[in-house]
Structure 1
């Protein structure tokens, strides 16, 4: 089996690391992510392949794929938070992405989950800190590493979930994609590190850091 998902994230105080939080900006974002594994210099690596990024921020679109990794598409977001209930709807301007999620905080993962425990699910996603995003250049993927200063997940009970990506029968034949679980992360302080891009015709995975923004979702 394979594991994929949609990361719905509100970024707050996003800015270069040396600037004060007052100068940061906020945005709603979505990233479709597919868990991947590979061998690099004889070592086993884990990360995610990101075929699609959507954002409410025109600034993210402007710098995405230029100063910041990954091409970003503009989308409208409707977000509602009430006590322990969360609702997110998004629709991209190009009509390629439509997502609806409604969920509330739960005490445990669904019984049908492939993860045996919340701790196992948390560890799995924490290891996927390297993200390789689609670019406008064939054969090239931009790379971004996530480093969290604190890591904590909570289980969610999903009451409604719709996705144009996972419901597309051209990508996923009927019955081949099933909802496993949903996880919530709150007030996570973190930093993003841009890494050398992956190229199908060259080297990949350098640990050179070329840009360091920071923020908290």
Structure 2
């Protein structure tokens, strides 16, 4: 029944909010995390990127179904920025999935039937006090602190980017998501379509993310952080093709 995981139908949702933290890592450290069919999406031929995205979704459901059949979930994804050359020779920018989390066991169960996103269920909490918001999980052992800032926001001090325009190219999510079956040499390509996509820089004052620490990335640095709100989004039916 593994064919069910190949995103056999379109899915749509409304993103109430999404926060994406992107970390720059020397390319040598991320090379072993992606399959042979993909290449790292690099900046200045030195930096590769891994992102943690937190998304509050509303009315997630098969595309075309009415809103009342949808469900609301909080989703977290860990992705590597990659490039893929498809069977027609077209180069695609996208993300390779490492791990996905959600606050609902129902979403984890259904997600693992119909996708290769490797969902696990966890606690996801948000606390807002005046101009500070904390997103954290005790089970997954992460914490992110965001401070609302009036006026211009500086890039993280360790960022390899010179300005927010450069940083925006690696803000995610990118148009495509890829998974790979090493035995069959099949690549699954999922295209996302969005509206009202206007990323706004945010000020991250502290973070501690256990999953990234477990990867033993010795020289990772926070490269950028963006937030988007009120975005209609849908994923097209998956496309499967043989690699080479």
TM-score by length of structure 1 reads 0.76
Aligned to 2:145: 102
Task: Tell me if 1:54 matches 2:54.
Answer: no
Q: What SS class does the counterpart of residue 108 from structure 2 fall into?
A: helix
Give 1:15 shift.
1.5
Aligned partners of 1:5, 1:117: CA distance in 2, in Å?
Answer: 18
Q: What is the RMSD of the two structures over their aligned residues, measured on CA atoms? A: 2.8
Greater per-residue helix proportion: 2
The CA distance in 2 between the partners of 1:35 and 1:191, in whole Å, is 20
Corresponding residue number in structure 1 for 2:127: 80
Helix, strand or coil at the partner of 2:118:
coil
1:195 is the counterpart of 2:235: no
- The answer to whether residue 49 in structure 2 is matched with residue 3 in structure 1 is yes
Q: Deviations over 1:101-159 (max 9, x none)?
A: 01123433415433333333334335722112578x89766543221111111111111
Taking the aligned partners of 1:8 and 1:72, their CA distance within structure 2 comes to: 14
Query: Comparing 140-149 with 13-22, which one deviates more in the overlay?
Result: 140-149
**Aligned residue number for residue 181 of structure 1:** 224
Q: CA deviation at 1:77?
A: 0.6
1:103-122 maps to which residues of 2 (within 5 A)?
103-106=146-149, 107-110=152-155, 112-122=158-168
Asked which structure has the greater RCO (Cα within 8 Å, sep 6+), the reply is: 2
Name the count of aligned residue pairs: 194
Please, what TM-score do these two structures have when normalized by structure 2? 0.68
Distance 2:93 2:106 in 1: 30
Distance 1:11 1:125 in 2: 18
Q: Does 1:67 align with 2:114?
A: yes
Structure 2: 5+ residue stretches without partners: 1-46
1:19 is matched with which residue: 29, 50, 65?
65
Q: Which residue of 2 aligns with 1:172?
A: 217
Q: Residue 161 of structure 1 corresponds to which residue in structure 2?
A: 207
Query: What's the CA shift for 1:35?
Result: 0.5
**Cα separation, 2, equivalents of 1:179 and 1:116:** 13
* Residue matched to 1:207: none
